[in-house]
Structure 1
Amino acid sequence: MTTTTLKAKFIVSHNGKKSAPGEPIRNLTEEEAQRLIDVGAAERLDLDIIDITDDVDVTVEEFAGLGAPDQKKYLELRGMEPAGKAEDRVKQYEDWLNSDV
């Protein structure tokens, strides 16, 4: 099952966890995500609004779905030198996400 991550615009409670404005809301179905967007409680992650100070990390699946320029930008913002191939960039991101950084 594919899940989606959104960025909360207001305090959102989902699956017993509260997300404050700006925090990620993870593990949403597409229907749940669309409902939160429709009521104005959350927005899709947009790499143009994420900077290195943001504590918003996309899932590996979402990262893999990004275009090459966005993948490279995302890795660079986290202090990494992006690999040339998409599958290598996904592996880099997955390793980073699983590290204690």
Structure 2
Amino acid sequence: MSVTKDDVQYVANLARLQLTDEEAENFKEDMNDILGYIDQLNELDTEDVEPLEHVTEITASKFREDEAKEPISHDDALKNAPDADSDYFRVPRVIE
């Protein structure tokens, strides 16, 4: 499978990106290199390889115990807020 410049422009359009012709050409080359590498990986015999949950061994002792604690009070939660209004954080409006 080979990626064309039209494929790159299609994906860029889906991502709402505007690419110059030079950028599209560079991305085309990069994407073809990535697909070539994936083809190399697909040639490997992985028949006897078991799937991993983690790349390294993780033992349960590395995790902290899950302990219930008292919730933080409203005053403590709002203590470091840049702006607060009684029981709430005050944030700038983002929707008009």
TM-score in same-fold range (> 0.5): no
Which structure: larger Rg? 2
Q: TM-score, normalised by structure 2?
A: 0.24
Ranked by relative contact order (alpha carbons within 8 Å, sequence separation 6 or more), the top structure is 1
Q: Which has a greater percent of strand?
A: 1
